[in-house]
Structure 1
Amino acid sequence: MISIWQTVVMYVPLLWFLRVTDGMPDPSQRDVLMLQEALRQTGGRVALTAAEQKLDAYLRQLKEKEMHNTQFPPAMHFFKAKSLIQRSSIFQVLKQMPKGGALHIHSFTLVSAEWLVKNVTYRPNCYICFTWDKSIRFLFSTSQPFPRLECFYWQLLENLRAKMGNPAEFDESLIQHLTLFTEDPEGDYPSQDIVWEKFQNTFIVAGGLISHAPVLKDYFYQGLMELHLDNIMYLELRSGLSQTYELDGTVNDKSWFIKMFQEVTDKFKEDHPDFLGARIIFSVNRAQSLNEVKAAVKEAIQLQKDYPDVIAGFDLVGREDSGKSLWYFMEALSLPAELGVTLPYFFHAGETDEEGTKTDQNVLDALLFNTTRIGHGYALVHHPVAKELSRTRNVAVELCPISNQVLKLVSDLRNHPAAVLMSEGHPMVISSDDPSVFSTTGLSYDFYEAFVGIGGLKANLGTLKELAVNSIRYSSLPAHLKNKAYAMWQKKWDAFISDLS
């Protein structure tokens, strides 16, 4: 528990301690100031047991050692730092840590690219074509697909692979089309425009595989498995509920998608009783027209009414800097209030390093539209009013460190603006955004960057504990399921502490 002295410090006005003195400052004042700062940071008021304090001391020792290494992973591009992180003793602890829920992941990037290539592309009836812009497309079909604008010639992948002298090398080339990973990220992606172009293309490449109905069922199960292996017990997935197709070309609607998602989730929970479940945040691209978004909002209202246990709410996705602002869609986003219904929003907002633009204002507009959480919120620290509103309304920021770095918002994660938010104890959760594209799985890599890089030495086991609990606290789960989730997580946490003590 927090001591009586700490409680007093939390409530005694700061100025009372800062009395003007004629000479040297009073050391007791300095102690009080340092304690007040420590109490404000994320996890600062989390009471640790004796066993937790022991692990906390061990983690601090490891962190101090890593900070003195010649190569400090958070200061490097993730693609260059990944192998270093994998060898980190801190990372090994984080992999074992129960992390609660993943609240910000997009559906077409949930599963590792390796699984898509080494499992899905080896299935029968999988065709491939090579586009004029040196990309690829996939399609499942009982016969050779007709030529398309970007695909003049489709080849049966099974036949093409048989002609390859080195199938493993060919598979690796396919993986490269599904991820951004490269040995030279600075050289290959010199600007945000270039990295975003490749980023958006990975979704198109993956779409032909994932949208095949039989694949999608296996894909979601595999996605839940990859999360579960990283000690994650709950998922909120951003998805456009894309049309899926059968081998004969039949197209399934959004209801099929939702029912399939629910069935797969139920099956996974049956197979893994320590997994709580998954929900969908219905999402459409912010590049669409006002009328299209109006229709999508109306559709989201109906889908949530029909599937209240699955559909958590609505979001606009896609690159903010090149897309339309939230305010542009005011008429569409005001529809639920006009119709007298509730549709929770989970807006991407402030995923930009530009100040004073329409994109930059999205963090304010997201709050005006009563967003439940803020996706990324990179620009939030530049908006003191929005930051205060977010805090007072308990609107959590979904922090995705690796995404922000790879998409060139920040190079050295020690300089991420979330460091300010963490020092103030701002509502926050950690997530991975598009793990397959960034060559990660689960949340452990992002937790590492947040804990070691953004949080620095101030971040401790209490920080990790609060961030994990936050993923339940700020989830879309109803109260009774949150209580169940807390109990499940606490049991896992206690076992985690016991195993490492």
Structure 2
Amino acid sequence: MTVQTLRSSALLSCASLLWFAAAAGGMPSAAQRDLLMRQEASRQMGGGVTLTAAERRLDADLRRLKEREMSAAQFPPALHFFKARPLIRESPVFKLLQKMPKGGALHVHTSSLVGAEWLVKNVTYRPHCHVCFTWDNSVRFVFSERRPFPRWDCFYWQLLGTLRARIGDASGFDDSLMQHLTLFTEDPDGEYPSQEVVWEKFEKVFIAAAGLITHAPVLRDYFYRGLEELLQDNVMYLELRSGLSKTYELDGTVHDTAWTLRTFQEVTRRFVADHPDFLGARVIFSVHRALSVSEVKAAVKEAIQLQADFPDVVAGFDMVGREDSGRSLWYFRDALALPAELGVALPYFFHAGETDADGTDVDQNVLDALLFNTTRIGHGYALAHHPLAKELSRKRNVAVELCPISNQVLRLVSDLRNHPAAVLMSEGHPMVVSSDDPSLFGTTGLSYDFYEAFVGIGGLKANLGTLKELALNSIRFSSLPPHLKDKGLVMWQKKWDAFIFDHS
């Protein structure tokens, strides 16, 4: 019997119980109350998971640790993540989550896959790296054998190694470069007073990193490093949102998107060969929602072709960028209807509901995503305000990709205990946990986001069964074909059993 079937059965039993209590009148019995509580608990995320004796012992320990953290003077999920991060690092719950096998990361963007420190300490020290400081307090990087020509946003390029030597304080200079490649600040409320301000910096970081990442030799190392950081955090699979940007060589040669995809494929194969306990990685081809309909139509056609050429690598298509300032999915309906008109299957993985602007055109993206048969919903922050969309996504088994730290840093929610996903988790809505843009938030892997989801959003109701179902969901709701999902579930279970043995 599936978890959803168990929940449906529990709902019917609950309705019968309430009818009986109302019909009987008088004081409800303790047995009735206990049954009601157990039936409600069975509906939450992880409520249908049966724990072994060893798992129950670890669950009891986890609850005690969580109770201690929830009673502390400073409760991390109630703080902005940038202030909470040092507290989380010292958390016994977090340290346990770091060791837990978390399955797959299904919502991560290419430009934020690898920590900013690696980009600065490794990539910017490579020969021929040039830097330019722009008029709007940002930076640009490019690798070139000679000084690059001036362009509209960069009038004066400098060889980065020469500049670093001239300044003399390499550590301080590197720290200043990292500030351009991350959103992290010790004063997040003062520096980012609104969504508009934080999104402006957010987009500047992506532009700044592009010149480093799209250099062909760097890209190979970058992909490999990204997989390493995931595996170090006990993540065994990746689905990467990527625009498959054109890459360049030192001599100026430019490679197309197919070259980028082949490089990703080759690096992934090499990494799996080096680390057999890693399942693999796939790409969700993504374009920005600021494009025109004709440009998106061309991108959809390209995605169809790329999926035909790389069926084991390309998972599908998505549209990225800030929803509140971008065009709605319905605006692009002619482009998004193209696969059906051509008689081909192109799975969609739409960002939708990453907004708190109730009732706007953008707020309807969660419904439009379902109209276009999205496979998963990226963020889905607004889903709790759309009962029909919530019902449809549950019936179709369309999982929400929950990215709690991203939602908080981008100012959709301040206290994560108030995140709408708390409602979804209490109802056992299909869900996975992911990190969105980890390098921008000063994280790696999934442990920080699992902590915020488990301790903050889930509260005391979330238990080891919750964690187990969330991890399993990341394989179940992945884009992998059935035989690889089965392989992934077997691999994960082996890791999980070892984790339980070590900690029970």
TM normalised by structure 1 equals: 0.98
> Which of 164, 171, 186 matches 1:161?
164
State the distance in 2 between where 1:7 and 1:374 align: 23
SS in 2 for 1:227: helix
> Which of 133, 137, 142 matches 1:134?
137
State the distance in 2 between where 1:185 and 1:30 align: 45
Partner of 1:91: 94
**Amino acid across the alignment from 1:63:** K
Alignment check: 8 A CA contact 2:398 2:430 kept: yes
Asked if residue 222 in structure 1 is aligned to residue 225 in structure 2, the reply is yes
Partner of 1:317: 320
Cα distance change on mapping 1:8 and 1:329 into 2, 3 Å: closer
Alignment check: 8 A CA contact 2:10 2:42 kept: no
Alignment check: 8 A CA contact 1:9 1:32 kept: no
SS in 2 for 1:235: strand
Partner of 1:50: 53
Asked if residue 276 in structure 1 is aligned to residue 279 in structure 2, the reply is yes
SS in 2 for 1:36: helix
SS in 2 for 1:361: helix
Paired residues in the alignment total 499
Asked if residue 232 in structure 1 is aligned to residue 231 in structure 2, the reply is no
Partner of 1:442: 445
Partner of 1:337: 340
> Which range is displaced more, 22-31 or 355-364?
22-31
Shift of 1:392: 0.2
State the distance in 1 between where 2:344 and 2:44 align: 37
State the distance in 2 between where 1:155 and 1:476 align: 44
Shift of 1:400: 0.1
Asked if residue 485 in structure 1 is aligned to residue 479 in structure 2, the reply is no
State the distance in 1 between where 2:111 and 2:217 align: 15
Cα distance change on mapping 1:181 and 1:336 into 2, 3 Å: same
**Amino acid across the alignment from 1:468:** A
Partner of 1:394: 397
> Which of 359, 372, 375 matches 1:372?
375
Shift of 1:163: 1.3
State the distance in 2 between where 1:149 and 1:10 align: 62
> Which of 461, 464, 486 matches 1:461?
464
> Which of 209, 214, 234 matches 1:206?
209
Shift of 1:158: 0.4
State the distance in 1 between where 2:473 and 2:339 align: 27
Shift of 1:12: 2.2
**Amino acid across the alignment from 1:485:** G
> Which of 159, 171, 174 matches 2:174?
171
State the distance in 2 between where 1:189 and 1:82 align: 17
Cα distance change on mapping 1:17 and 1:225 into 2, 3 Å: farther
Shift of 1:13: 4.8
**Amino acid across the alignment from 2:140:** R
Partner of 2:251: 248
> Which of 262, 273, 276 matches 1:259?
262
Asked if residue 116 in structure 1 is aligned to residue 123 in structure 2, the reply is no
Shift of 1:21: 4.9
Alignment check: 8 A CA contact 2:10 2:43 kept: no
State the distance in 2 between where 1:209 and 1:353 align: 34
Shift of 1:118: 0.2
**Amino acid across the alignment from 1:250:** T
SS in 1 for 2:304: helix
SS in 2 for 1:226: helix
State the distance in 1 between where 2:274 and 2:99 align: 20
Alignment check: 8 A CA contact 2:7 2:43 kept: no
> Which of 104, 109, 125 matches 1:106?
109
Alignment check: 8 A CA contact 1:314 1:343 kept: yes
Shift of 1:16: 3.2
Partner of 1:12: 13
Asked if residue 190 in structure 1 is aligned to residue 193 in structure 2, the reply is yes
State the distance in 1 between where 2:437 and 2:197 align: 17
Shift of 1:260: 0.5
How is 1:401-440 mapped onto 2 (pairs within 5 angstroms)?
A: 401-440=404-443
State the distance in 2 between where 1:461 and 1:96 align: 14
State the distance in 1 between where 2:122 and 2:109 align: 20
Shift of 1:195: 0.2
**Amino acid across the alignment from 2:446:** L
Partner of 1:31: 34
Alignment check: 8 A CA contact 2:14 2:39 kept: no
State the distance in 2 between where 1:134 and 1:179 align: 14
Shift of 1:10: 5.6
State the distance in 1 between where 2:430 and 2:26 align: 40
SS in 1 for 2:377: strand
Shift of 1:186: 0.3
State the distance in 1 between where 2:136 and 2:465 align: 49
Shift of 1:255: 1.0
TM normalised by structure 2 equals: 0.97
Shift of 1:252: 0.2
> Which of 326, 330, 353 matches 1:327?
330
State the distance in 2 between where 1:233 and 1:435 align: 16
**Amino acid across the alignment from 1:82:** R
SS in 1 for 2:84: helix
**Amino acid across the alignment from 2:369:** A
State the distance in 2 between where 1:73 and 1:13 align: 35
Shift of 1:449: 0.0
Alignment check: 8 A CA contact 1:109 1:435 kept: yes
State the distance in 1 between where 2:462 and 2:412 align: 22
Shift of 1:25: 2.5
Cα distance change on mapping 1:164 and 1:6 into 2, 3 Å: closer
**Amino acid across the alignment from 1:157:** L
